[in-house]
Structure 1
Amino acid sequence: MVTKHALPGSERKVEQGTKVIGQCDPAERIDVFVMLRRQQQAQFDALMKRIEAGDASVKPLSREALAKDYGAAPEDIAKVRAFAAAHGLTVAREDPAARSVLLSGTIAQFQSAFEVKLERYQHHAAGQFRGRSGTISVPDDLHGVVEAVLGLDNRPQARPHFRIRPPFVPARAQQESYTPPQLASLYQFPQGDGGGQCVGIIELGGGYNTSDLKTYFSNLGVSEPTVTSVGVDQAGNKPSGDPNGPDGEVTLDIEIVGAIVPRATIAVYFTQNSDAGFIDAVSRAVHDTTHKPSVISISWGAPESVWTSQSMQALNSVLQSAAALGVTICAASGDSGSSDGSSGGDEVDFPASSPYVLACGGTHLSASASAITREVVWNDGQLGGASGGGVSTAFAVPAWQQGLSATSASGGSQPLRGRGVPDVAGDASPLTGYEVLVDGAQTVVGGTSAVAPLWAALIARINAAKGQPAGFVNPKLYKAPGVCNDITQGNNGSFAASKGWDACTGLGSPNGEKVAGAL
């Protein structure tokens, strides 16, 4: 008799506003990927403690060393193979370094294998998707071996964090816009073109048109970067022709990075918008032995409460691997202020709330020809957006944030009780936004989506100049507080800007030369 165990953290509830609209076709084929435990977990934890403490003697692991010492054990992969064979599933891909095994089979086979019931759901915002409720079960010999089973459900997981400037803005609102090179100069980025570096960009839909990129870079007088599209899980570069959709995100990310580091290679990892797709794409980028990105930009996310704990832990564990490899991850902190768009009070956005990423918040920037004249928290009021930020309920206070407090907009401050978000900031208001070209249309875009690639481009310039990766930068930045322009005015709803770190703009916007010095 095989004993079955509920997989910890796999519990899914039916979200409010969601209804079951029918059964799934039992013969429909789907792919599901299984994430396995790490070999030598205790040794890896000890290594991470040193990295988190900013121990300068720790050298980044090579991708080969990470795979060999801290990947999935061959016997664990063999157990998943045996389980797949017993249920008529096929193994489509094994990646010991990423600790993942991709299984392929019919809905009926997966329902039986993991003791779940998959149904078709409808949600007013998410549309139609395949979903489940309750937990996923695994047999005795996979109990403790499997950390996550992803892809049984394919509900849209994340949203892009960009905002196109509205066409009609009250006359009193001052509007400015900047090209990415102008911002690099205002933020005093060190000189450089990113030669020899690869910047990875994660996209959950949409695409880019080569003609847009050609025109855009040519108009800026910047040499056109090498952009490579990497398809993950049957996804690829598929522009929809709608600049307001994901195309806006994809093009914005590429144009900001490419304009600042034109000699860097840009690898764009396209995937499906689901938790499985998101996690697999980040994992493929982190473990990519072909392009080897030294910095990865993520402009998508969702409130912490929207994630199952198995998905959140699985992605966090991939981000942890990135830190061990010396790959810097920049993630947008969200565009909906301290609530992150959730109706249940204050929330922070994940993956920005992971302690292994550089979380990027937003400012509203005014400048003269050559200098910043005023910079405050991005908050365009009720109908506009605002910098995501606050305190995580999923992650503890990291070593480098010990002793910090979050200042509340109503006055007073509270010592951090969880990971504080964001770490840093940059121009994000669409009213002072970035000039881009999307689907043939010249437009001005803002959002913390623009800040993640801005910081990623800065790190790529620093990496190229240094000839080695800056790696996990958070401990170094927090130890050198003067490297950012401190933002002390404004709020994002519940939190206010204050001297030093705050839960709206973190340590502040970059002074690129000083950041380079600190790293």
Structure 2
Amino acid sequence: MRSSLGRPKVGLTVAVASSLALVALSAPAALADQGPPRVPVDNAQPELAGASVTGTAKADTSIAITVHLKNRNQAALTTLIDELSDPTSANYGKYLSAAQFTSRFGPTAASVKKVENFLDDSGLTVTGVAENSAYIEAKGPVSKVQKAFDTTLKTYKKEKVKFRAASTKPSMPSDLQNVVLGVSGLASVSDLMKPASTSTAPPSDAFVNATPCSSYYGQKTASTLPSAYGKKQPYAPCGYVPDQLQGAYGVDSSIAKGLNGKGVTVAITDAYASPTARSDANTYATRHGQKALTKSQYTEVLPSSYRYGYDDAVNGDQCGEQGWYGEQTLDIEAVHATAPGANIKYVASPSCDNTDFVKTLIKVVSGHLADIVTNSWGGVDESNGSDLLDQVYEATFEQAAAQGIGFYFSSGDSGDGASGNDGTPTTQAPANSPYVTAVGGTSLAVNKRDNRSWETGWSTARSALSADGKSWDPTPPGTYQYGAGGGTSRVFAQPKYQKGVVPKDLATRYSSTPARVVPDVSALGDPNTGMLVGQTQTFPDGTVKYSEYRIGGTSLASPLFAGVMAIADQAAGRPHGFANPALYRLYGSRALYDPKPKSDLGVVRNDYVNGVDATDGTTITLRSIDVTTGTILRTRRGYDDITGIGSPNGTSFIRRLS
């Protein structure tokens, strides 16, 4: 799960993948007794190990399935993407339209018709085809779905979650083998609840920052509290506001000249939709010296209904619907903070399920809804849920690259990822894809003049004030708490743009063959030096009102970086699309700020025990900065697996990237 960190008494604020890991079954395919030859088909569904059978799906229950189709001409597509994204190529920036992509690389009309005929002949009703023909949706009774895919659908229970799944590996006619990637929807929990027509959850539970805190880094020192690293440490910033972030990343002078992202559209994808997102963003902007978003500057693309939501009486709130409200609000305010002139298009997924999310991304790409897409969500390991869905995600990112759409993904908030992966370090999907820009997180010191004093990798350890108030316990740096995600992929080989930049010991951490390393770039992520955001929240007395609090996570880093890229796109007069090859060409230049390792740094943080006021007291902790305990990731000079090639360095970044 991915969280936007900063709420110590509240659970993770963002759920990011379905609560059940989606993997293809390994059971052998059941072959039909009659009819044409059949072959196994990949199937996205929960792993059944440890699940108990509770029954058989009712034969007359209508269910929805999705058949995912293959792209064509893969070798030619790979070559084309290299040419379109390489600044030294004659074809650099000569992107395809969505229609051109489908014509050259997408499933053919004949392929779509072939699958439709199979579904029709099976007694299923085709309900929709993706705009880019990437998938076909159909529905029908369980009895006909079982016959179509030669499997039996049963109901299961695993870790208190009830769901439906195929008990044997499904199959399909062999003449579809070169057309179909796989099928999803045979397994689902959505049919055990009534979909909601709108997001129904009330605003998130309130969180308020305790005082004292600093208006800029180092403004207030905790002079009455114990020293750490031989000196008194400063109180954490209350949360940086737009002017401070623009100054720190050096885009303030560009914005003053009209380079503010105008004419560029940044899409944000999350799940569900906060009913107060626009008003919250505008209240925040006007309180902090920015213009409010105009009616046309902020738009939403919403699904017709939502799944796994707040009102799911059977399975409970699987996705944390309220938490997504905070994520959406953060993303909007962060993009607007660094690119106040950019258009923002919020595209909501109907749930946090991997299949729903990839369909949302396909909607963005096939409709070319934006040139920049920021995504503050991800999984807990290198898979998007199954081999099938991994292929669907990659195909989507490839189409985006061919069309000049840049995807930016948060790299994660759990350091090397070992804590969420049974102790094994891991990068996180989709940020691990070589066709997306993975954004890591930093700790950032903004001084009184709104300049960046320093920036380093976000890696935090925690020590609490001792009972007698005379020391920090454990002795600083204390216990590892969280940090920007990163590391070496076990799935993807090293892309060309990382050759000669990523140190060999990182690229070959797990194999002699160089691998993809995450992240690519970075921006502010540390919640202890985080951004102040504003959101309508629900307080313990039932009051619902707008309030502000400090927050962080790579959920913040990605939209901040996307905003800077919007300015770069405006300055260049064209989209940079899949920007990694161009970004890596800036490595070692003044266009990038290299977050260097720091030592003996920390901030003192006060938090209300109940999250909102001092009624139940406060906790005082020391958060040590850029620690090396508890994670294999390290901030280094040059490229590292916390901050990538670095963070944007103002007008030099914008000018040289153009």
* TM-score, structure 1 normalization: 0.88
Contact 2:384 2:429 (8 Å CA) reproduced:
no
Residues of 1 paired with 2:510 and 2:178: CA distance? 41
Residues of 2 paired with 1:185 and 1:414: CA distance? 42
Residues of 1 paired with 2:480 and 2:189: CA distance? 27
The residue identity in structure 2 corresponding to 1:34 is V
Q: 1:503 to 1:488 in 2, by over 3 A?
A: same
Which residue of 236, 239, 246 corresponds with 1:175?
Answer: 236
The equivalent of 2:352 in structure 1 is 273
Deviation for aligned residue 1:260: 2.9
Deviation for aligned residue 1:207: 2.4
Contact 2:240 2:532 (8 Å CA) reproduced:
yes
The equivalent of 1:7 in structure 2 is 41
Where do 1:9-88 residues align within 5 Å?
10=43, 14=47, 18-51=51-84, 53-58=86-91, 59-88=94-123
Deviation for aligned residue 1:326: 0.7
Write the deviation string for residues 490-511 of structure 1: whole angstroms up to 9, x where unpaired: 3471121212211111111211
Q: 1:174 to 1:37 in 2, by over 3 A?
A: same
Write the deviation string for residues 348-368 of structure 1: whole angstroms up to 9, x where unpaired: 111101111110011111120
Contact 1:428 1:451 (8 Å CA) reproduced:
yes
Partner of 2:269: helix, strand, or coil?
strand
Partner of 2:460: helix, strand, or coil?
coil
Contact 1:407 1:497 (8 Å CA) reproduced:
no
The equivalent of 1:472 in structure 2 is 578
Contact 1:154 1:276 (8 Å CA) reproduced:
no
Where do 1:83-482 residues align within 5 Å?
83-95=118-130, 97-124=132-159, 127-132=161-166, 135-154=169-188, 174-176=235-237, 177-189=239-251, 190-191=254-255, 192-209=259-276, 210-225=278-293, 226-232=297-303, 234-235=305-306, 245-271=323-349, 272-289=351-368, 292-302=369-379, 303-305=381-383, 307-339=385-417, 341-369=420-448, 370-381=450-461, 382=479, 384-403=481-500, 404-405=502-503, 417-439=514-536, 440-481=546-587, 482=589
The equivalent of 1:509 in structure 2 is 647
Deviation for aligned residue 1:2: 2.0
Deviation for aligned residue 1:131: 3.9
Contact 2:405 2:575 (8 Å CA) reproduced:
yes
Deviation for aligned residue 1:334: 0.5
Q: 1:6 to 1:198 in 2, by over 3 A?
A: same
Which residue of 606, 622, 635 corresponds with 1:497?
Answer: 635
| Range that drifts further, 428-437 or 193-202 | 193-202
Contact 1:260 1:457 (8 Å CA) reproduced:
yes
Q: 1:288 to 1:394 in 2, by over 3 A?
A: same
Residues of 1 paired with 2:421 and 2:344: CA distance? 33
Contact 1:235 1:270 (8 Å CA) reproduced:
no
Contact 1:366 1:375 (8 Å CA) reproduced:
yes
Which residue of 484, 487, 492 corresponds with 2:592?
Answer: 484
The residue identity in structure 2 corresponding to 1:508 is G
Partner of 2:183: helix, strand, or coil?
strand
Partner of 1:380: helix, strand, or coil?
strand
Q: 1:152 to 1:287 in 2, by over 3 A?
A: same
Q: 1:14 to 1:433 in 2, by over 3 A?
A: same
Contact 1:295 1:456 (8 Å CA) reproduced:
yes
Deviation for aligned residue 1:87: 1.6
Write the deviation string for residues 292-344 of structure 1: whole angstroms up to 9, x where unpaired: 30100111111114621110111011011111111111100011110262214
Contact 2:44 2:185 (8 Å CA) reproduced:
no
Write the deviation string for residues 217-236 of structure 1: whole angstroms up to 9, x where unpaired: 22123222232221246349
The equivalent of 1:159 in structure 2 is none
Residues of 2 paired with 1:321 and 1:498: CA distance? 34
Residues of 1 paired with 2:140 and 2:321: CA distance? 36
The residue identity in structure 2 corresponding to 1:427 is L
The residue identity in structure 2 corresponding to 1:221 is G
Deviation for aligned residue 1:258: 2.4
The residue identity in structure 1 corresponding to 2:302 is G
Deviation for aligned residue 1:426: 0.9
Q: 1:414 to 1:393 in 2, by over 3 A?
A: closer
Contact 1:11 1:136 (8 Å CA) reproduced:
no
Partner of 1:175: helix, strand, or coil?
coil
Q: 1:26 to 1:173 in 2, by over 3 A?
A: farther
Partner of 1:384: helix, strand, or coil?
strand
The residue identity in structure 2 corresponding to 1:251 is T
Residues of 2 paired with 1:234 and 1:29: CA distance? 17
Partner of 1:444: helix, strand, or coil?
strand
Partner of 1:304: helix, strand, or coil?
coil
* TM-score, structure 2 normalization: 0.70
The residue identity in structure 2 corresponding to 1:150 is S
Write the deviation string for residues 465-505 of structure 1: whole angstroms up to 9, x where unpaired: 22210111101111111222112313471121212211111
Q: 1:53 to 1:123 in 2, by over 3 A?
A: farther
Deviation for aligned residue 1:431: 0.6
Q: 1:259 to 1:393 in 2, by over 3 A?
A: same
Residues of 1 paired with 2:125 and 2:235: CA distance? 59
Q: 1:349 to 1:469 in 2, by over 3 A?
A: same
Partner of 2:493: helix, strand, or coil?
coil
- Whose radius of gyration is greater, 1 or 2? 2
Gaps of 5+ in 2: 1-34, 191-205, 212-221, 226-232, 312-316, 462-478, 537-545, 598-625
| Range that drifts further, 277-286 or 135-144 | 135-144
Residues of 2 paired with 1:415 and 1:397: CA distance? 11
Residues of 2 paired with 1:69 and 1:253: CA distance? 34
Deviation for aligned residue 1:11: 6.9
Write the deviation string for residues 183-215 of structure 1: whole angstroms up to 9, x where unpaired: 122111242232222111111235241332231
Q: 1:117 to 1:229 in 2, by over 3 A?
A: farther
Contact 1:12 1:134 (8 Å CA) reproduced:
no
Partner of 2:459: helix, strand, or coil?
coil
The residue identity in structure 2 corresponding to 1:174 is Y
The residue identity in structure 1 corresponding to 2:438 is A
Deviation for aligned residue 1:26: 3.9
- Identity of aligned pairs, percent? 29
Deviation for aligned residue 1:387: 0.5
The residue identity in structure 2 corresponding to 1:149 is V
Partner of 2:146: helix, strand, or coil?
helix
Deviation for aligned residue 1:56: 3.4
Deviation for aligned residue 1:69: 1.7
Residues of 2 paired with 1:40 and 1:266: CA distance? 34
Residues of 1 paired with 2:290 and 2:168: CA distance? 53
Structure 1 residue 518 corresponds to structure 2 residue 646: no
